[in-house]
């Protein structure tokens, strides 16, 4: 019985650590975008490297959690939902990393006067992720609070969509090369995708929470 | 010859183990919260202990209903109950060993012209009606308590899983003890007057009565039934009337156990009498009825949407049919035994 409870505590700690890594990834993205917009390229590259390390650690941790859940046949009724949540949350971290990596590879020429709008976009996208992670934590410990976190995440996601549209309209009204406009649009879409993926996690979360209600 | 006659009781015990252990550990095994081997071992130990140390009270009530006083009569009565259980099970009707044995005893009374104690019969039948209702009541109260506690404790999903597993093991063990105490009378009760065992003293201190040895034999038959044939029943039980989660399974098994304890605990009866409160009768109630009552209670409090009313109708039909079929079959088999095989089914 002691083994059962020790194993449980270890796994709980690992799940918490995994969710912490997603939060950390979001913060690094936020800081990375800020550094890019302020043309502090060295600091940007440091943030990107930290984010890649975080993603790698997240992948390892997730695989470990998944194999332990299967190996010890834990939470048989909710295992599918939990694995689905962890995998879709991992997708969010992957998109965060991939988006920041694109900044490093393509080094897009962002429009300085639109930078506050882009920062707002990135902030709201990461706010969506943070609300989603809070929802995931609540799923494990405080089921009644899941709905509140999902509502917050959906509100942030709506804001992301609105800002993205505003940014793209502004870009396409300008006298720029079409290729440049398209590049900027892609960066907005990639950042928007972070919130979209977080929203997908919320959809899974809402169903999983209903199933868990006693 | 007496050992041959005991075989029908052992067959009945085997079928009880195969069917009724699923009521206790079915959902836990079906949802893979507990491995079958672990569940079967715990259930076997619980049933043996319950039968040997707690089976006396219920046996007295069955004896009052009809004292089957010839070993061939006991054989036929137990065989009738076993065949009824097997036949009804094959027909897909949930069946109660308690109802089958009571029906078979009434059939013996009917065939031999022995008087049926109507007071005892009414007590037993009332308990059959009351047991599922009581189980539903216990389940509703336990469900409300569990929801209240879970909302406040903020237990991690994994911790809840671990506590539920431990709870299922402990409640399952208690349920198995209660099943042994309450249902051993069904298996071996009719053989008590003709028991081949004599009282023995082990190590100069531990006295084991002949009845306890008889009950141990019956309990071993139940344990074999659990190990050899209950896996399939366990893996299909639980979802037939209402889909249960592991926490709901724990609530349902606990409610079922409380009902069996209520109707088989001499200690509880003594306590309630000493407090001047009405005590429940010590009668063999159906483990299946108790578990179905508890599942229904939980299903109703959750809005009743997932309840399979068709299955419930079949269950109710089984409850009415079982004692009637057993009584008629008992009469027929006793007639055949006495007139074809020239067995002495009653001592005059």
On the question of pLDDT at B332 being above 90, the answer is yes
Check residue B223 and give its pLDDT.
94
Of the candidates A58, A85, A52, A97, which has an alpha carbon nearest to the alpha carbon of residue A190? A97
Q: For residues A40 and A113, is the Cβ–Cβ distance under 8 A?
A: no
Is the CB of B166 less than 8 angstroms away from the CB of A212? Answer: no
Check residue A179 and give its pLDDT.
95
Query: What angle separates helix B287-301 from helix B309-339, to the nearest 10 degrees?
Result: 170
* Chain mean pLDDT for chain B: 86
**Chain A environment of B245 (Cβ under 8 Å):** 77, 214
**Which among B32, B156, B166 is the nearest to A76, CB-wise?**
B32
How far does CA B297 lie from the centroid of its chain? 20
Smallest CA–CA distance, residue A214 to chain B, in Å, is 7
B33 in A contact zone (CB under 8 Å): yes
CA atoms within 13 A on the CB side of B316: 7
Is the CB of A141 less than 8 angstroms away from the CB of B156? Answer: yes
Is the CB of A77 less than 8 angstroms away from the CB of B146? Answer: no
A8 in B contact zone (CB under 8 Å): yes
Q: How confident is the model at residue A159 (pLDDT cuts 50, 70, 90)?
A: very high
Of the candidates B54, B76, B96, B65, which has an alpha carbon nearest to the alpha carbon of residue B293? B96
On the question of pLDDT at A33 being above 90, the answer is yes
Q: Characterise B113 by phi-psi region: left (phi > 0), alpha (psi -120 to 50), beta (else).
A: left
Is the CB of A141 less than 8 angstroms away from the CB of B154? Answer: yes
On the question of pLDDT at B242 being above 70, the answer is no
Q: For residues B286 and B128, is the Cβ–Cβ distance under 8 A?
A: yes
| Candidates B150, B154, B162, partner chain A, best to mutate (most A CBs within 10 A) | B162
B146 in A contact zone (CB under 8 Å): yes
Domain annotation for chain A: domains and CATH numbers: 2-212 (1.20.58.220)
**Chain B environment of A8 (Cβ under 8 Å):** 156, 158-159, 161-162
Is the CB of A76 less than 8 angstroms away from the CB of B245? Answer: no
Phi, psi angles (nearest 5°) of residue B74? -60, -45
On the question of pLDDT at B1 being above 90, the answer is no
**Chain B environment of A209 (Cβ under 8 Å):** none
Question: What are the pLDDT digits (tens) for B266-315?
Answer: 788 888 888 888 888 888 888 888 888 998 899 888 887 777 788 778 87
Other CB atoms within 10 Å distance of the CB of residue A73? 15
On the question of pLDDT at B236 being above 70, the answer is no
Q: For residues A103 and A33, is the Cβ–Cβ distance under 8 A?
A: yes
Identify the closest residue of chain A to B249 by CA–CA distance: A214
Q: How confident is the model at residue A29 (pLDDT cuts 50, 70, 90)?
A: very high
Check residue A6 and give its pLDDT.
86
Q: Characterise A7 by phi-psi region: left (phi > 0), alpha (psi -120 to 50), beta (else).
A: alpha
A179 in B contact zone (CB under 8 Å): no
Check residue B343 and give its pLDDT.
87
Highest mean pLDDT, choosing among A91-100, B51-60, B85-94:
A91-100
A46 in B contact zone (CB under 8 Å): no
| Residue percentage of chain A with pLDDT more than 70 | 99
On the question of pLDDT at B92 being above 70, the answer is no
Q: How confident is the model at residue B239 (pLDDT cuts 50, 70, 90)?
A: low
Is the CB of A8 less than 8 angstroms away from the CB of B166? Answer: no
Phi, psi angles (nearest 5°) of residue B286? -85, 125
DSSP A143: G
Q: Which of A36-50, A144-158, B8-22 comes out lowest in average pLDDT?
A: B8-22
Check residue B67 and give its pLDDT.
75
The kind and range of the H/E element at B147 are: helix B118-153
Q: How confident is the model at residue A72 (pLDDT cuts 50, 70, 90)?
A: confident
Question: What are the pLDDT digits (tens) for B151-202?
Answer: 888 899 999 999 999 999 999 999 899 889 888 888 888 888 777 788 888 8
**Which among A1, A76, A142 is the nearest to B33, CB-wise?**
A76
What interface predicted TM-score (ipTM) does this complex get?
Answer: 0.88
Give CA–CA dist A6/A13, Å, rounded.
11
């Amino acid at each position: 019985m002691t083994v059962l409870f020790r194993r449980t505590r270890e796994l709980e700690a690992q799940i918490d650590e995994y969710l912490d890594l997603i939060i950390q990834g979001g913060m690094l993205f936020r800081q990375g975008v800020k550094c890019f917009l302020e043309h502090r390229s060295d600091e940007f590259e440091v943030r990107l490297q930290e984010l890649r390390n975080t993603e790698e650690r997240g992948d390892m941790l997730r695989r470990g959690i998944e194999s332990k859940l299967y190996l010890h046949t834990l939470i048989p009724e909710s295992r599918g939902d939990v694995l689905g949540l962890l995998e879709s949350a991992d997708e969010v971290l992957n998109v965060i990393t991939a988006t920041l990596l694109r900044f490093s590879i393509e080094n897009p020429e962002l429009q300085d006067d639109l930078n506050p709008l882009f920062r707002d976009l990135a902030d709201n996208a990461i706010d969506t992720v943070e609300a989603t992670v809070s929802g995931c934590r609540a799923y494990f410990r405080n089921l009644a609070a899941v709905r509140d976190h999902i509502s917050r995440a959906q509100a942030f996601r709506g804001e992301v969509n609105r800002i993205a549209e505003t940014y793209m309209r502004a870009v396409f009204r300008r006298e720029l090369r079409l290729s440049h406009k398209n590049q900027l649009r892609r960066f907005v879409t990639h950042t928007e995708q972070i919130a979209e993926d977080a929203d997908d996690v919320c959809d899974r979360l809402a169903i999983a929470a209903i199933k868990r209600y006693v | 010859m007496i050992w041959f006659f005991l075989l029908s009781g052992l067959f009945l015990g085997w079928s009880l183990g195969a069917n009724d252990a699923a009521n206790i550990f079915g959902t836990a095994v079906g949802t893979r919260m507990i491995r079958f081997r672990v569940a079967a071992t715990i259930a076997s130990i619980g049933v043996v202990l319950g039968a040997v140390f707690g089976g006396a009270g219920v046996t007295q009530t069955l004896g009052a209903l009809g004292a089957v006083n010839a070993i061939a009569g006991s054989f036929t009565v137990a065989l009738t109950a076993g065949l009824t259980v097997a036949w009804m099970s094959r027909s897909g009707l949930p069946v109660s060993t308690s109802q089958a044995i009571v029906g078979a005893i009434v059939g013996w009374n009917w065939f031999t012209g022995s008087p049926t104690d109507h007071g005892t019969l009414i007590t037993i039948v009332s308990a059959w009606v009351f047991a599922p209702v009581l189980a539903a009541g216990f389940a509703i109260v336990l469900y409300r308590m569990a929801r209240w506690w879970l909302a406040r404790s903020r237990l991690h999903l994994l911790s809840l899983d671990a506590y539920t597993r431990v709870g299922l093991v402990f409640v399952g063990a208690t349920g198995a003890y209660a099943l042994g105490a309450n249902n051993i009378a069904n298996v071996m009760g009719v053989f008590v007057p003709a028991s081949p065992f004599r009282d023995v003293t082990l190590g100069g201190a531990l006295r084991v009565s002949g009845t306890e040895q008889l009950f141990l034999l019956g309990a071993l038959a139940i344990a074999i039934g659990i190990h050899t044939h209950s896996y399939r029943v366990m893996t299909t039980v639980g979802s037939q009337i209402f889909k249960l989660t592991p926490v709901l399974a724990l609530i349902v098994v606990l409610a079922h156990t409380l009902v069996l304890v209520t109707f088989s605990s001499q200690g509880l009866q003594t306590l309630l009498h000493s407090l001047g409160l009405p005590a429940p009768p010590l009668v063999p109630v159906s483990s299946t009825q108790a578990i179905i009552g508890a599942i229904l209670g939980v299903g109703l409090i959750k809005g009743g949407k997932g309840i399979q009313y068709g299955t419930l109708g079949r269950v109710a039909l089984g409850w009415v049919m079982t004692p009637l079929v057993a009584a008629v079959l008992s009469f027929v088999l006793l007639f055949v035994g006495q007139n074809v095989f020239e067995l002495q089914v009653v001592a005059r």
